[in-house]
Amino acid sequence: MSKQINFTIVPDEPGGSGKPVREYANFCAVAHTPFDLTLTFCDVQPLTEQDVRQAEQSQVVKAPVVARIALPFTVVPGLITALQEQLKAFQEAPPQQDPNTWPKGPVN
């Protein structure tokens, strides 16, 4: 006989410093294998003149990877739902809303 336990998962900040680690990314590349979905987050900086010249020749701009996250496909529907809920809340929020008043913690 198996026992069912109801629980909530909450993020546990690393290092116990009290200040969470936060990385900034303004670009996300998405790829998949038969087993998982991979999100690669990058921080694309303004291009220098040299970067522009190189991009004109190679048609490629390299950006530093901030994080690469592999997710099993079973997690993806929940992620999509959470992102849609957060986007809706952002779009419906009054302009210039103070970020400190945004909901904290997981949505689902």
Summarised one tens digit per residue, pLDDT across range 33-87 is 999 999 999 999 898 999 899 999 999 888 999 999 999 999 999 999 999 999 9
Q: Given this model, what pLDDT does residue 1 score?
A: 76
Q: Given this model, what pLDDT does residue 108 score?
A: 46
CA–CA dist 33, 47 (Å, integer):
32
Q: Given this model, what pLDDT does residue 97 score?
A: 56
* Residue 47 contacts residue 60 (beta carbons within 8 Å): no
Q: Given this model, what pLDDT does residue 31 score?
A: 97
Indicate the range of 7-11, 59-63, 100-104 predicted with least confidence: 100-104
Q: Given this model, what pLDDT does residue 3 score?
A: 86
Per the DSSP assignment, residues forming a β-bridge with 70 are 38
**Beta carbons within 10 angstroms of residue 73's beta carbon:** 12
Write down the domain spans for the chain: 23-93
